[in-house]
Every structure is written in C-alpha cells, then in structure tokens.
Structure 1
Amino acid sequence: MPENFEIAYKFVFWLFPLPFLLYWLLPPLRLKSASLLLPDFDKAQKYTGEKARKSAEIKRRNIISWLFLILIWVSLLAALSSPQIVGKPELKVKTSRSFLVVADISFSMAQTDWQIDGKRVRRWEAVKHVMHDFIKKREGDRMGLIFFGSSAYVQAPFTSELATVDQLLEEADVGMAGQMTNIGKAIVKGIDLFEQDTIQSKVMLLLSDGVDAGTDILPLDAADMAKKDSIKVYTIGIGDPNAPGSDLDEKTLEEISELTDAQYFRAIDTDRLNEIYEELDKLEPIEYEEESYKPTTFLYHYPLGLAIGLALIHSFLASAFAFGKQFKKDELN
C-alpha cells in the first residue's frame, strides 16, 4: 500500500521568528548580585562628585548555545506541526447483514465420496474445508451457525468475530445432531435466531445432502415462514442426485430457495462448491461505507524527543562551562 509523508499543520512554522522578535523587543533581564565592597566608598563619591548608579550584568550567549536553542525551537515546531505517514484511503466495511449458515451433519454426510488434493474424504470434511475460506471472506457480515440432523441446534449465535465462527465450525462433526435429516426444523431454528437479531437484511445458507425426514414441520411451510420474515434462504444440494444410493431431494431445496427469492445450487465436488461460494459473494456482496478513511501513523514523538535530548545536552554543556569558568576564577584568586 503506497504511503505518503505529510505535515498536518504547516502554518506552525510561521512561528519560527517569534523567539527572535521577543529577544529584540523585550528589555534584557536584570539580575541582582552582590557589589564589590570598597573602603571609603562614600568619601570617593564626595570627592569626585559622582553618584552611584544601579547596574546589571547582561550575559552573552556564545554561538554554540544559540545553535542549540535554534535547533530545539525548530524541533518543537516540527512536533507541533504533526508530521505523519498517511496510507492509501480505504473503504470501511459496513456491517449491514446477518448471514446464517445452516448445515446438515446427519450420518449421510459421513460418506467418503468427495476428494481434497486427490484424497478421498468425507463430505462433511470437504464442506468444512471450503466453508473456512468462505467465512473468512465475509468480513462485514455478522455470521451464525446452526447444525441439524434429527434435531437442530445453534452452534454460534450471530457475531462479527468470524474467527470464533470458524473455530466452532471446525469443532462440529457428523452425528452430533442425530442421524436423520430434518430440514423444516432447521429452518425454523434459523428463523428463531433471526428474531433475536436487529439487522434487517437476513440471509440463510442451507446445505443438505438428504431428503427431509421430519414430521414436526414441512420444509416448505418453514420456508413460507422465512419469507414472511424477509429471510432469503439459499440452498446447496451436496452430492450427485443421480449417483447410486443418493437421496438428495433437489426439488424441495429448489422450492425453498424460489419461495424466499433466493437460488438453489448443486455441489457435486469441492471445485463446484468453491464456485458456488463465489456466486454467493456476487449475489450477496459485502457492503462498504461511502466514506473513506486514511490509515495514519503519527511521527510527532520523534522531533519532540530530539528537542528534549538537545535541551538536556545544552543544559549539561552550560553547567559544565559555568563550572569551568568559576574554577579558573578561583585559581586566579
């Protein structure tokens, strides 16, 4: 990311002549000191006719002292001007949607008919493998997780902490919610979770590889309830419906998505599942604030530290010079 050096308050440098103006305009500082004691001082005044006058010693600074003071003043002005490194403007992510993943973890998800890097794995492991990347890319959404089989339970309530959602996804395994597939109950559980949320834009992603075996509520009745609550239910059918032993009910999943103004996708392998997530990103894109901000690194502490360091060195040198001058005077006396 390109970065630029900027000075926030350039007008501060117009104050540079201020100490010199004060030096020229203000009267010199007068310091009282003990006078030299002379015998018969009063007689000398009468004899000469002169009267004693008040006097003051004006201390002159050498060129090194002036150089230090100028450098200290310039460093202070540099600190007050707020130097900074400003990065390229970035758009702020706008959190405006609740995105709920409802995943089937019934026993059928344990079939080892999918592949990752040429190795046969369980369907659930392949789904988790792809879903990890999908969750990380949803920055800006508040995400939740529901897993279902014979029953449905909330694994993660809505949160913007996507790393937590990702970890909870990893901890889930096949069979934790029972061996059957109850799609209707899973959708209703999702509706209940959305009712506790305040964000109006609601998206549900339902993944299943089986036919609904529930008796409590039919999937289409649950989908109708979701539609009334303005919840979009995207559905993904896991596996090939034409493969031997497959009981994927594509018709029901298609009707659920159509009823809620969403879409149905078929995922027969990890490559297709990746493509589906990319399509979802386009259908439900991350929203950004129109306002932009610039990442800024402040540098004022560097010239301020330099000013303090120069002041300490100047003070040390002045004390050493005064001590040396006094030492020479004492030697002469």
Structure 2
Amino acid sequence: MSFARPLLLLALGLLPLWWWLRAKRLARLSGTQMSDVRPAAGAAERLWVARLPVTLRSACLGAWIIAAAGPRIGAARSETRSEGISIVLAVDISGSMQAEDFAPANRIDVAKQTAIEFVRARTSDRIGLVAFAGQALTQVPITTDYAVLEQALRELHPGMLEDGTAIGTAIGTAANRLRRAPGKSKVLVLLTDGVNNKGTVDPRTAGEAAATFGIKIYTIGIGTRGQAPMPTEYGADGQLRYEMRPVEIDEQLLTEIASMTGGRYYRATDTQSLRHIFEEINRLEKTEVEQVVYRRFDEAYRVPLALGLVALALEIVVAGTFAVRVP
C-alpha cells in the first residue's frame, strides 16, 4: 500500500496533542463534567462511558485523515526500451590471415573468436557480417539473430573468396547495408592484415561516402610488427607451408579512413591486444536504454472514510443516550 498524499499523515500526530490539551483543561475544572443517566452504575463505568464519545471522535478524525492521504493498493511494472546500434563486422579472409603470429592459433581463428565474444557482449544491437578478400560479400544481413551471426563467424575461412585485399569494396558493401539500417548510430568495424590491392572502389572514396551516411568506422590492423610466418603454398601432404615474411599493413590508410568518419584506428599485434581493442569498442559504442515504469493503483480511501462515518454516527448515538454533558 502507498499514499497519494503521504504528508497529510503527519496530521495524525495532532490527535495525541488534542488528547493531552483536553486532559489538562478538564483537570482544571471542578465538579463533574459528564453525568451518567444510570446513577446506580459505578464510578469506573461512568468514566468509561464519559470517555467513549471523544474516543469515537478521535477514531473518526484519524480515519478521515488516512482517507484524505489517498491510500491506494497496486503494483508497478517496468518496461525497458532500447534503441540498438547498427553494426557491421567486416572481416578480412585473405590467405595472409592464416599467418601464425597469434598464439595459440592463426590470425583468422583468433579474429573469429574475438568477434564472437564481441557479439555476445551486445544485447539489443543489430549486427551484420561482411567477409572480404579480393572481393566483398555479405554473409549475414543486419540482424538481431545472434545465433545465426555466431555460426556465420565460425564458418569464415580463407579461400571462400578470390584472394587479395579489397578494403574499398568491403567498406562500400558494409556502408550499403548500414545506410538503410534503422537507428541513429551506425558503426563499421573493419579488420584487415594487409594493403588494399584489389577491387575497383578506392578506400578513401568509400570512407567519405560512409561518412556522409553518418557511419563511424573503426579500423583494426591485425599482425605482429616485423616478420611473421606467412602461408606460401600447400605441400604434397596437403599441409600449408610457411615462410618468414615482412608484415605489411597500410596503417596510414586505415588511420585516415577512421579519422574521416569519427572512428579510430587500432593495431593488434597479438591475441590479447585484439581482445582489448574489441572491449574498448564495446565500451565506446553503448546502447541507449530508456526505462519506463507503469504504475496501476486501486484507490482504497473508501474503507477509512466509511469507518470514520461509522465512528461519527456512534459518537452521536452515545453522546445522546449513554453519556450526556450537563452544565
């Protein structure tokens, strides 16, 4: 139970004060103020009857104060509304992503697992997936079905597309998905380990177009510094052969693209740094949550109001029959 006007309950404290003032006033008076119409009754009974009207009046006033305070019975129901962010993950699946410079696996396996952890950390966002190498292809349109998205991430592997690194085409494909997505915030997370060498779309031009659509791009360069064991060819046994080769990432290009769209460029040199990068992006891109609380109450003032009326009626009856004030 709650009260619509709880401050009125403070008036209940005036009732004991009224009793105290009345007792002091009666103590100063001499003689008998109340007379029992049954003179044969004892003094104790006459005192009880004499106090009954004022007791009923106090009960009446107390009940009416409670009624005036607006007692109500009900419950509150909360509803959470959130305007999710539209996100596209663009993952490089070129052959160089099989380089084994990320423990305990190669680049693509670590990138997939980290991206899955990122998806699991989101709650109400719409997320899509674009895979790119020599060309770009949407694997999952923007969706809230995280199970489908997670499965698509697990199935990514080099060789699905023509080899190469078409960064501009990847940005254009992702931006084309995001520009029609609902919501105010639109984010592209692009992960690559190379230099743009394929595709007909210039990466800077694609970045400028994304900026006009209000798309923020976070670019991640993945690969150790210096040299790394790079896949070269398959041997007769069907296993990949590796050679130590320089790691080449166009960090200047990735920095420019991120800067022109209000995003940021990150360099991941190992598994732990890649995980920290995704965690930071997760913190930076928060979903706005609005909580609406609905309250429904049933007014309960009728009960104390009725009790007050009953007490008032009893006071009138008692004062006119059993206890009569005499001059």
Normalising to structure 2: TM-score of the pair?
0.59
Deviation readout 1:106-136 (Å, 9 max, x if unpaired):
11101112113xxxx1210011111111101
The farther-off stretch of 181-190 and 164-173 is 164-173
Q: With a CA cutoff of 8 Å and minimum separation of 6, indicate the structure with the bigger relative contact order.
A: 2
Does 2:127 align with 1:104? no
Instruction: Give 1:175 shift.
Output: 2.0
Change over 3 Å in CA distance of 1:154–1:95 after alignment to 2: same
Secondary structure at the aligned position of 2:186 is classed as: strand
What corresponds to 1:270 in structure 2? 271
- Specify the code of the residue in structure 1 equivalent to 2:151: Q
Question: Where in structure 2 are the equivalents of 1:116-135 lying within 5 Å?
Answer: 116=104, 121-135=105-119
What corresponds to 2:195 in structure 1? 211
Separation of aligned partners in 2, 1:152 and 1:141: 23
Change over 3 Å in CA distance of 1:83–1:201 after alignment to 2: closer
| Contact 1:204–1:232, Cα closer than 8 Å, also in 2 | yes
Which of 156, 161, 164 is the matching residue for 1:172?
Answer: 156
| Contact 1:97–1:200, Cα closer than 8 Å, also in 2 | yes
Which of 205, 227, 231 is the matching residue for 1:221?
Answer: 205
Which has the larger strand fraction? 2
- Specify the code of the residue in structure 2 equivalent to 1:248: I
What corresponds to 1:256 in structure 2? 257
Does 2:98 align with 1:114? no
| Contact 2:86–2:186, Cα closer than 8 Å, also in 1 | yes
- Considering only aligned residues, what root-mean-square deviation do their CA atoms show, in Å? 2.4
Does 2:201 align with 1:200? no
Change over 3 Å in CA distance of 1:205–1:90 after alignment to 2: farther
What corresponds to 1:238 in structure 2? 222
| Contact 1:115–1:270, Cα closer than 8 Å, also in 2 | yes
Change over 3 Å in CA distance of 1:264–1:90 after alignment to 2: farther
Does 2:168 align with 1:184? yes
Instruction: Give 1:198 shift.
Output: 2.8
Separation of aligned partners in 1, 2:280 and 2:294: 29
| Contact 1:136–1:163, Cα closer than 8 Å, also in 2 | no
Instruction: Give 1:255 shift.
Output: 0.7
Deviation readout 1:167-195 (Å, 9 max, x if unpaired):
11111111212210000000011111123
Instruction: Give 1:291 shift.
Output: 2.3
Stretches of structure 1 that go unaligned for 5 or more consecutive residues are: 1-5, 7-81, 295-333
* Identical pairs, percent: 34
Secondary structure at the aligned position of 2:217 is classed as: strand
Instruction: Give 1:94 shift.
Output: 1.0
Does 2:120 align with 1:136? yes
Secondary structure at the aligned position of 1:115 is classed as: coil
Normalising to structure 1: TM-score of the pair?
0.58
| Contact 1:241–1:250, Cα closer than 8 Å, also in 2 | no
What corresponds to 1:13 in structure 2? none
Deviation readout 1:51-86 (Å, 9 max, x if unpaired):
xxxxxxxxxxxxxxxxxxxxxxxxxxxxxxx999x9
What corresponds to 2:129 in structure 1? 145
Instruction: Give 1:269 shift.
Output: 1.2
Deviation readout 1:155-177 (Å, 9 max, x if unpaired):
00011111111111111111212
Separation of aligned partners in 2, 1:254 and 1:234: 9
Instruction: Give 1:283 shift.
Output: 1.1
What corresponds to 1:66 in structure 2? none
Stretches of structure 2 that go unaligned for 5 or more consecutive residues are: 2-72, 228-244, 296-327
Question: Where in structure 2 are the equivalents of 1:82-97 lying within 5 Å?
Answer: 92=80, 94-97=82-85
- Specify the code of the residue in structure 2 equivalent to 1:261: G
- Specify the code of the residue in structure 2 equivalent to 1:291: V
Separation of aligned partners in 2, 1:253 and 1:261: 12
Secondary structure at the aligned position of 1:132 is classed as: helix
